[in-house]
Structure 1
Amino acid sequence: MRNLLSSLCYFSIFFAPFLFPVIVWIAVRDSYVQSHAKRALLSHFFPVLTVIPLLYSLVSQRPGLFVTFLLLFGIVYLVVFVYNIYKGIQSLREYA
């Protein structure tokens, strides 16, 4: 059960990126599951950090800077997406 909850925290990037890991982190008292919920929550938060300079470049009306930060956001989101899938599968297979 704990492996399933841990992997669902990572797989929640598909259905509830912030909500599910926070609920699991608060509701479950198992330290193993809580640590994975925290990691998943942080990995879901990283793309949000790249949106801040993207919005700044949009407000400053600099198209070159906007395209650069848009590419940066796309790369960061893709890396985080693949990371979450990898960690979700890894936590499912950990005790198999």
Structure 2
Amino acid sequence: MENHKIISALCYASLLFAPFLLPLIVYFVIKDKEVKYHARRAFVSHSIPTALSILLAIFGFIGMLTLDYNNMSGYVILMFVLMGIYFLVTIGIIIWNIIQAYRIYRVGF
């Protein structure tokens, strides 16, 4: 049972070294329901910053192609605000994942 706690905690902590790759592998390889539950939660939490960064990149690319130099100041301010929101959300998710990994490892399922 100790191995299941370690694997579940690693799914959350893998945001720092192998985001959503390790939880995806664990979800399909491990048969324990609790480990699958934590792997799925970790995968979803790892996917949020990735999805936000892809949306931010698409929005930036479209804006870069459609705006001219004279109308760019409002767009640049908007992009910096969106990047700030992205970084705050990402830092919050990193902290949440680390707390979840600690809770799983120390307290249990």
- How many percent identity over aligned positions? 31
Question: 1:35 corresponds to which letter in structure 2?
Answer: Y
Q: How far, CA to CA, are the matches of 1:66 and 1:57 in structure 2?
A: 9
Q: Could you say which structure has the higher helix fraction?
A: 2
| Structure 1 stretches lacking a partner, 5+ long | none
Are 1:54 and 2:56 an aligned pair?
Answer: yes
Match of 2:78 in 1: 65
Query: What whole-Å deviation, never above 9, does each CA across 1:44-90 have from its counterpart, x for those lacking one?
Result: 01112222442244221321111011001101100000000000000
Give the 4+ runs in structure 1 shifted more than 3 A.
none
Aligned residues: 95
Match of 1:23 in 2: 25
CA contact (8 A) 1:57 1:63 kept: no
Task: Provide the secondary structure at the position in 2 that maps to 1:13.
Answer: helix
Matches within 5 A, 1:1-96: 1-59=3-61, 60-61=63-64, 62-95=75-108
RMSD of aligned residue pairs (Cα, Å):
1.2
Q: How far, CA to CA, are the matches of 1:83 and 1:45 in structure 2?
A: 14
Match of 2:71 in 1: none
Q: How far, CA to CA, are the matches of 1:53 and 1:22 in structure 2?
A: 22
Greater C-alpha radius of gyration: 2
Question: 2:85 corresponds to which letter in structure 1?
Answer: L
Q: Which moved more, 1:19-28 or 1:51-60?
A: 51-60
| Structure 2 stretches lacking a partner, 5+ long | 65-74
